[in-house]
Amino acid sequence: MIRKAVSETHSALTPFTQKCRTLNHLKELHCQLLKFYLPETPSAIAPLLSFAVNSSNPSFFNYLRIVFQNLGYQSTFLYNTMIRGYMQSDLPIPAVLCYKDMLRNKLIVNNYTFPPLIKACSMILNEFGQHGFSVHAHLLKLGLQHDRFIVAALIEFYSLNIEMDRARMLFDEITNRDVVMWTSMIDGYGKIGEVGKARLLFDEMPERNVISWSAMMAAYSRASDFKEVLCLYRRMEEDGLKPNESVLVSILTACAHLGALAQGLLVHSFAKHYNYESNPILATALVDMYSKCGRMESASSVFEAMTYKDSGAWNAIISGFAMNGNAVKSVQLFDRMIASGNRPNETTFVALLSACTHAEMVDVGLSLFARMGSVYGVEPRFEHRACVVDLLARAGKLEDAEKFNEENMGGIEKGDANVWGALLGACRVYGNVEVGDRIWRKLSNMKVIDHGTCVLAYNIYREAGRDVEAKCVRELIEEMRTKKQPGCSVIEVNDIAEKSFASDLLHRK
């Protein structure tokens, strides 16, 4: 029967491939093809290869991949099938190499070659960014630039490559646009911060799917317009669309920044109902949301229930306890993170050093900083050094903080004025006029003073009874004619945190 099917037509093999349930079944069918392989039908392997690519069993494609590499027969169909198979297996580089083999073997490429090939180029932008441009040039030479599937892939490629002018040109030239093209444009504009252009396209879309809504929400989230993220979510609900994990992550991020705990609880309930909690990215967003809303018990509950905890999840819970004042717990979680085999990164140490700073755990903080590079391979950045200065300053070790700032942060000439300003604030707290006077003069000479540092210097001098210096600083404040921002608190109104200013009246001392 198999021999007859091979002799007559390739489509006759379909019933046999559909009966393959295991890799052994596939191998048996392959053996039968080899046994009855006729010289006049070398392409009989094509249906088997196509079946392997379309199946959900990765072992099928891995097996036929080896078979393909040892074939003596070549055809455009086989190569196109392999390119598609590599893409479905998240192997973009072999897909591009397949295309190069086609050109080297002088095989004809066609409109079926390019959509998966362009997607492969989109996946390897960072490593081989120029391949996509070469492929575009080739298809232009072949006159395939009007194929809507090819255009859709090109729009996605240029959007990911932040080449929105080229993407827009392609988008405007095609009349039969599908939802994928619209969404790619919205996502591209969102990634370069052109939220207004993204919203215009979003409002013009003839139809939207959940990915379109997700792309628009992500654009607003990147622009920190979290209120609009929640507004879009409510509109999407009104349209009767079920949110996916990406949408819920955007909503949770918005809730975290706005302090919208009530909305966050609703999202968590939705995630539980649809078993989205197993998504590690969404679970991490839940940990972050609860942490920023001050609900560390809930954050811990979500974290401990996670079956897979990556560095992002560990950072979220460590940062959560740090921002809520439990430095000891943060350090304990860090020890657990290391024991679990996860590698800490820059974010981990910013959270830990900040926690140690507010808890005045100086020795622990300095030990962590010392081990960053030597033990954990994380090179200290500006943020970590600034944390150390703050750690020492808040503990009253002002001379050590000043020395560290001079030796590790480039001194006043290359250092950050905000760090020096924080150190000046510590000088006032501890009444250290000597160090405070030295820092103020450095800041004044470099002309990097602002209203805040002036007020600090004035208070340091006034409280120390040095009226002459205090008067000079006071005159400088009058010359600057700057206003201090009034203090404010945050309260939740209609599920969204609103700023409430204590007073608009500015008082002078």
Asked if residue 498 and residue 448 are part of one domain, the reply reads: yes
Give the Cα separation of 91 and 85 in Å (integer). 9
User: Is 170 a domain residue?
Assistant: no
Give the Cα separation of 437 and 443 in Å (integer). 10
**246-263 pLDDT, tens per residue?**
999 999 999 999 999 999
* Residues 195 and 220 sit within 8 Å (Cβ to Cβ): yes
Share of the chain above pLDDT 70, in %: 85
User: Is 347 a domain residue?
Assistant: yes
| Residues with Cβ within 8 Å of residue 238, at least 6 apart in sequence | none
Asked if residue 465 and residue 367 are part of one domain, the reply reads: no
Burial of residue 148 (number of CB atoms within 10 Å: 0-12, 13-18, 19+): middle
Residue 506 pLDDT > 50: no
Q: Pseudo-torsion of CA 453, 455, 457, 461, nearest 10°?
A: 180
User: Is 203 a domain residue?
Assistant: no
**119-177 pLDDT, tens per residue?**
999 888 766 667 888 999 999 999 998 888 999 899 989 988 888 999 999 999 888 88
Question: What is the average pLDDT score of the chain?
Answer: 85
Asked if residue 500 and residue 423 are part of one domain, the reply reads: yes
Asked if residue 503 and residue 441 are part of one domain, the reply reads: yes
User: Is 154 a domain residue?
Assistant: no
User: Is 374 a domain residue?
Assistant: yes
Residue 225 pLDDT > 50: yes
Q: What's the domain count of the chain?
A: 2
In the block, residue with structure tokens 């232009």:
140
User: Is 471 a domain residue?
Assistant: yes
Element spanning 497, H or E: strand 496-501
In the block, residue with structure tokens 């999840």:
313
**40-78 pLDDT, tens per residue?**
566 777 777 888 887 777 888 888 888 888 777 888 998
SS3 79: helix
Residue 499 pLDDT > 70: no
Asked if residue 501 and residue 424 are part of one domain, the reply reads: yes
Closest CA to 420 of 376, 395, 384, 456: 456
User: Is 284 a domain residue?
Assistant: no
Report residue 102 as tokens.
């086609």
User: Is 444 a domain residue?
Assistant: yes
Asked if residue 407 and residue 375 are part of one domain, the reply reads: no
Give the Cα separation of 236 and 214 in Å (integer). 10
Share of the chain above pLDDT 90, in %: 51
Q: What is the DSSP string of 223-275?
A: TT-HHHHHHHHHHHHHTTPPP-HHHHHHHHHHHHHHT-HHHHHHHHHHHHHTT
Give the Cα separation of 353 and 367 in Å (integer). 10
Its domain, for residue 375, covers 309-380
